[in-house]
Every structure is written in C-alpha cells, then in structure tokens.
Amino acid sequence: MSTDPKQVNKIKKNSRRVENNTEPKFIERLIKISRVSKVTKGGKKLSFRAIVVIGDEKGQVGVGVSKADDVVNAFKKAKTDARKNLIQVPITKTLTIPHNVKGNFGACNIIMRPSIEGSGVIAGGAVRTVLEVSGIKNVIAKQLGSDNLLNNARASICALSNLTTKSQVSKKRDLNLL
C-alpha cells in the first residue's frame, strides 16, 4: 500500500472545506434601496442607501444601513453592518415570542404579542421582514406612529432585544433576594 502525496493533499483540502461550512448560514433580506443625491459645488452627486436585515431563522437577527456609489456595494456594506448589530432573540417551542413586548425608536412604536401555533406572522412592512428572518413564525405585531421603514425595523429590533425567558427572570429574582 503506497501513500501518494497527491491523495494526502486532497484529503487535507477536503477537511478544510468541511470546517469552513460550520459557520451559521444567514438569510439576507433587502428592505429598501433609495437613491440619494447630494448637491455640491460641481453639481449633484448620486449615491444609493440600502437597508438590509440578516438572520439565521434560529433567533439571531440584525439590521444594517449603508451608502455607496452603486447598489451592489451599498448592499454589501449594509450586510456587514447588520452582522455587527446581531442580537439573540428567545423563541418558544411554538415559534413565537415568550411575552408581550413594546419597542420604540424615534417616532415609531411597535407592539408585539405572542400568538397561537399556525396563525403566522401578522405584521406589516419592515417589522414582518425582521420577524421572519429571526425565525419567529407565530406573532401579532402592530406599528404605531411613523411609517419610516428604517425606524420601524430598528424599533422591532429594540422590542425583540427586550424579550426575556423564564430562566433569565428567575436568575434576576434570585440575585435580588441575596
């Protein structure tokens, strides 16, 4: 039985590929791309602003915003910004949120309530996108105040970050009793 160096190298390369695939797979959803113009002395300078939500449908979600001279670069930069702002969301067995929660950002107010299994995501606009990407399947949400897509997405992230589980609440109570 001879050991061929080419076969040994192939085994090593394949094992590296398997290790790289263990990273969580994120789903990216584009909320909005807007064309922005800046008036300068030489004329108007056009750029694009992208709002992107990324998540792994297992409780991680983040919102990112970025500007660039073309759409592709704006989308890429917004994705990296969203990765920096990832939060972990507690999800119940019925794929809903543990309790009622409110979120505020700017003039936007979001109210979220858990719902029974099979009801689906009852929400609109950017809030719906954030909830779907985070992996929450049964929830009722209402946005009040402003209809700005970015502020609504950030308000929903704020609401989701305020969620707590039973174990977190019991730990806080135990610490307060000591």
Domains, the chain, ordered by start: 27-84 (3.30.160.20), 89-164 (3.30.230.10)
Mean pLDDT score, 109-130: 94
Does the pLDDT of residue 34 top 70, yes or no?
yes
pTM over 0.85: no
Residue 84, pLDDT score: 94
Residue 20, pLDDT score: 55
Contact 28, 130 (CB under 8 A): no
Residue 29, pLDDT score: 94
Higher-confidence residue: 8 or 147?
Answer: 147
Residue 18, pLDDT score: 53
Q: Which amino acid is at 101?
A: V
Does the pLDDT of residue 107 top 60, yes or no?
yes
Q: Which amino acid is at 105?
A: F
State both tokens at 104: 């505020």
Does the pLDDT of residue 17 top 90, yes or no?
no
State both tokens at 25: 């797979």
Q: Confidence class of residue 52 from pLDDT cuts 50, 70 and 90?
A: very high
* Angle, vertex CA 86, rays to CA 154 and CA 89, nearest 5: 80
Contact 78, 135 (CB under 8 A): no
